Structure 1
Amino acid sequence: MFQEMLLQKYPYRMVPGLPPKRMLGADREFIESRRRALKRFINLVARHPSFWDDILVNIFLSYNSQDVQNKMRESIRGVGDEYLTTTFAAQAKDFLPADIQVQFAASRELIRNIFNSFYKLRDRAERMAARAIDNATDLMGFGKELSALGSDTTPLPSWAAHSSWGALKQALKGLSVEFTVLADKAAQQGKLEEIDVVDKLNLFLDLLQSYKDLCERHEKGVLHKHQKALHKYSLMKRQMISATVQNKEAESVEQLESRIVEQENAIMVMELRNYFSLFCLHQETQLIHIYLPLTSHILGAFVNSQIQGHKEMNQVWNELKPKLNCLFVGSSSLATPPLSPEERHFFSR
């Protein structure tokens, strides 16, 4: 409802899309995903130069009553869209560069290419974060199996009375704790990548998508209506010429002239709206370029999360390494399996 009202008031601006709802089967993962999407939506709306101090937005963000929808409807009733409320809307053409159509086409192509690349980057970042979470699950499972081995109470047969199994069980149970720590570190890295990398990529993608939607509204909306009105005007002029040649009744000709005048006025308004739409698009394109440096922040967050995650995991693995000696070095009275050259090198370091 809020998004529809915002579009009604600002049809020539980048209005981000709301995440889809799911009435049935809304699991925890979907709820968390939608919560993040709503947060991004609110951030983009609240940061937009045309929206941030609008009464409609203020009501949506701060009104704490059940009749908030009625309150929002009242705020836009009879107000009109941005074209009608902007004092210089009719002079928008004067503020545009002469090659605005060429610039618009180039900007649209650039944003389309950026969107496609960032879409792929987001998908890969999501998979990397998911792999970190899966790695945490596997490490946790690995540790649980070690703990299960160490906690096994099955009695040993008499011939295995001098087996090293008892000592190994104690060592395995102790090592299981280390894998719990490793699992926590992997999970933390996955969450960090989701928050600092994937969410920022999604925020930028939401903005780029709203720009693409705006371009489509411009072409299928005011521009299409303007072209359609011009075509209708051309047909009416032909009818007028035909009526004059055929010496039709004066009343019929006057009605046709009146309709032509009305059409001319409608075309003039549509033309002004078309230029105002291009003016807004020009501003929104500049806003996209203001957001472009977010790329460096995203890459910085990605690199930092990788460095921090691998550093912490490396520290735990290094602390775990000397604790493995108890698994390979038995007492002098117990036989130990022969070590490979790689194992001897590993434990001699």
Structure 2
Amino acid sequence: MKVDQFDFELPKELIAIRPAPSRDGARLLVVNGKSISDSKVTELPDNINPGDLMIFNDTRVIPARLKGKRGIAKMELTLHMNMTGGVWKAFAKPAKKLKVADVINFDGGLDALCTHKGDAGEVTIKFNKSDDELSDALKTAGVMPLPPYIASQRPVDARDEEDYQTIYSKNDGAVAAPTAGLHFTENLQNALKEKGVNSAYVTLHVGAGTFLPVKVDDTEDHKMHEEYGELSKDVADLINETHARGNKVIAVGTTSLRLLESATDEDGVTREFAEATDIFITPGYKFRCVDMLMTNFHLPKSTLFMLVSAFAGFENMKAAYAHAIQNEYRFYSYGDSSILFREDR
């Protein structure tokens, strides 16, 4: 499909630069086929049945944006994929100035050697620290990597260190939050549990590639960056059991959905998974695992708007976003949310 088909006009004032005062105080748009209705995140349990299974992404955002110097020249890195042993793939700025074998110096004695240059500003770097030492050094040298549409309007501050993490975040490695999960509170999770809704956790370390613009004219020409994910055998068994008894699997966020679809074969059987995925979902994709999706509102012409259009129907999502804009829903990472029913289920 042509990328321009996924464009829409969004008033700048609808871009949320802070979350709602309470995590579950956001609005919730319910999209079920052509039916569109306004709700609240606190009313999420009303849309889910006992025995259904909600899948959460427990990745934890690290301070992945680093400002340092290459000699006397300023250099910025945004980490996006951990290759282990202190080696990361990253986006460099200005990338043209950085050469293989250059060393970038950061605060706290942290250094990074450029070992490879790729396309679109991507580089591979090796730090002089690894594992726990590197994690500690990043806390000194790095800042929370807020999305560009927020970071361009205000600086990162102490509030973001809490606001931009889910309450159940556990495994360090993401450079962007799984933002649908930001709406969950202990009260909301307890309400779901009381209704008989089951829950399970997977890990997909969200990469900075999620913010990259689509620069091609046709979706078939776009290449996704890889992200590492893990789904245990126990969770796979739980998913298969849920479907076997006729209940639904609900992905909390597009990150959970991408991992679930990567771990499920064409026969609809979900299996243990521990590898990188570059799955790119556009209209026409046949979903194998996920029946419902909770997700925030996405950028025009983004891979995530393409994904939700594939999931809930292209025309349905165009109508849903028009409704959201007309009714002044708050967009993007700190914005309101939606619950989508799969169109072909």
More helix by share: 1
The TM-score normalised by the length of structure 2 is: 0.20
Larger Rg: 1
More strand by share: 2
